[in-house]
Chain A
Amino acid sequence: MTRPLVALCVALLSLLSAASAPAALNKCAAAKRLCVAKELAALLACHAKAAKPPGLAPGKLDSCLQKVKDKFDGGGTPAKGCFAKLEAKFPQTCLTTDDTAALQAAVAAAVAATNCALDPDTCLPSTCLDVRSALVAASQGPVDGAYTLYVGRNPNRPWTAYCHHMNLSQPVEYLTVVEANNFSQMSNGAVVTQSNYRRLRIDPATLVVDLLDDAFATTQSGSLLPPAGRSSVPAGFAEFASPNDNDGPAAAAKVDLAGTPFAFTEAVLANDLAYFCAATDDQSPADGANVATVASDLQSFSLAAIDPRGGHATKMVADCPHLSVADGAITAGTLPLQYVDS
């Protein structure tokens, strides 16, 4: 089965099936199903008209789609929406309320998946390669820059990617972040080596960030060099190593996704934040001032690393299994993200 077909099946299943649980006997919920069925059918009918030779005149498809959507959500008069009228007709008995937008989004996803399965040219781009292919097909030169991609080709999950290496056969996706709030430090107690990240490498399918990709990092070098084999301090990595006792301040690191539609997955909180850890160069317990702080909205975390013992090093890192190892052995570092539906 092709990928668009799989996506279509998933979308339709999520929209139409309630798995094996029997539906509750409820007139409002039953009628809402009919609202959804009518909208789905009417939207697909619009696209069918547009696809049938000789096609629709410019603007006709949009007006057809808008007319259907207005009927579902009431357009400028929400009270006239299909769901709103049912909630007024069956007061206190509807199983759900205020779910017009949620179901409309589900229908939009199903329509997009249907179109994509039946005509690959209509698929929403999920990767920079998709964008590149479309540009090349349109005889436009693919250039690096910001493009809108859709997670899972879902029209409800857009994000702005920076597409890099668009002139190559395998362009790569980056997530643009606020440079001042995405940094990693290595401190010797006097001067700091700091890398700032203005873009993070992200896999558009798995939404995993590569903490080691420094294509868009800028590094100011202090006395401590980045980990062996690396030209930058990895994202999510703070290390402190001073020749003196009891000096500071701590080395810091921060990853902040503010302004993007992404947050960390709950996995970073699992097992009392076991995703993070402090490691010392001699396996001794780390000082209690080594701290990892994850914001409650899961969009940022901060690290602080310090070692009060002169001649020793401590680091506080994300992705503990990969980044807490000896600096020269660092070969990977990942941060899992999720799309935050608005």
Chain B
Amino acid sequence: MPLLDWIHPDNVNPRPSSCTAERARIATRQTGEPPHILVA
């Protein structure tokens, strides 16, 4: 089965290259105050 058929639309982005990239991607989806983020 094609990979993307199983992936939720919120998760079709490629795996982030770094934590910084992931933070930036999440932040740009938010409006107003920045979200609270926990990075393992």
Tell me the A residues contacting B by CB distance below 8 Å. Answer: 180, 183, 185, 190-192, 194, 220, 222, 248-250, 252, 254, 269, 272-273, 276-278, 285-297, 302, 304, 306, 314, 316
Q: Which of B1-40 contact A (CB under 8 A)?
A: 1, 3, 6-16, 18-19, 22, 26, 30, 32-40
The answer on a CB contact under 8 Å between B22 and A291 is yes
**Closest A residue by C-beta to B17:** A289
Instruction: Given A289-B16, A289-B22, A306-B15, verify A269-B10 contact (CB < 8 Å).
Output: no
Contacts of A194 in B (CB 8 A): 6, 8
Question: How many angstroms from the CA of A297 to the CA of B18 in the assembled complex?
Answer: 26
Q: Report the minimum CB–CB distance from B18 to chain A (whole Å).
A: 8
Residues of B within 8 A of A276 (CB): 38
Which B residues are closer than 8 A to A by beta carbons? 1, 3, 6-16, 18-19, 22, 26, 30, 32-40
Q: Determine if B11 and A250 form an interchain contact, defined as CB atoms under 8 angstroms apart.
A: yes
Nearest to A280 among chain B residues (CB) is B40
Q: Is the CB of B38 within 8 A of A288?
A: no
Known: A289-B16, A302-B10. A272 touches B22 (CB 8 A): no
Chain A residues whose C-beta falls within 8 Å of the C-beta of B19 in the assembled complex: 288-289, 291
Q: Which residues of B contact A292 (CB under 8 A)?
A: 37-38
Tell me the minimal C-beta distance from B13 to chain A in angstroms. Answer: 7
Q: Which residues of A contact B22 (CB under 8 A)?
A: 289, 291, 304
Are A289 and B15 closer than 8 Å at their CB atoms? yes
**B8 lies within 8 A of A291 (CB):** no
Q: Which residue of A183, A191, A293 has the most chain B CB atoms within 10 A of its CB atom?
A: A293
Complex: how many Å from CA A300 to CA B35? Answer: 10
Q: Which 4 A-B pairs have the closest CB atoms?
A: A278-B40, A296-B33, A290-B40, A248-B15
B16 nearest in chain A by CB position: A289
**Which of A183, A291, A296, A306 is within 8 Å of B38, CB to CB?**
A291
A291 contacts B37, C-beta separation under 8 Å: yes
Contacts of B30 in A (CB 8 A): 295-296
A183 touches B33 (CB 8 A): no
B3 smallest CB distance to A (angstroms): 6
The 8 Å CB contact of B35, one of A248, A277, A278, A296, is A296
Closest beta carbon of chain A to B26's beta carbon, Å: 5
Query: Complex formed: what's the CA distance from A143 to B22 in Å?
Result: 46
Q: What residues of B have a CB within 8 angstroms of the CB of A288 in the complex?
A: 18-19, 39-40
User: Which residues on B sit within 8 Å (CB–CB) of A286?
Assistant: 40
**7 contacting pairs across A/B (C-beta < 8 A):** A180-B9, A220-B6, A277-B40, A286-B40, A288-B19, A291-B22, A291-B37
A302 to B37, CA, bound (A): 10
Chain B residue with minimal CB distance to A268?
Answer: B36
The reply to whether A185 and B8 contact each other, CB–CB distance below 8 Å, is yes
Contact A249 B36, beta carbon cutoff 8 Å:
no
- Give the distance in Å from the alpha carbon of A185 to the alpha carbon of B10 in the complex: 12
- The 8 Å CB contact of A252, one of B3, B11, B33, is B11
Are the C-beta atoms of A293 and B35 separated by less than 8 Å? Answer: yes
Q: How far is the CA of A173 from the CA of B1 in the complex (A)?
A: 38
Nearest chain A residue, comparing its CB with the CB of B9: A180
B8 partner residues in chain A, CB cutoff 8 A: 183, 185, 192, 194, 252
CB contact under 8 A between A249 and B14, given known A190-B3, A192-B6: yes
| A338 to B: closest C-beta gap in Å | 16
Within the complex, what minimum Cβ distance (angstroms) separates A112 from chain B? 34
Q: How far is the CB of A312 from chain B (nearest CB, A)?
A: 14
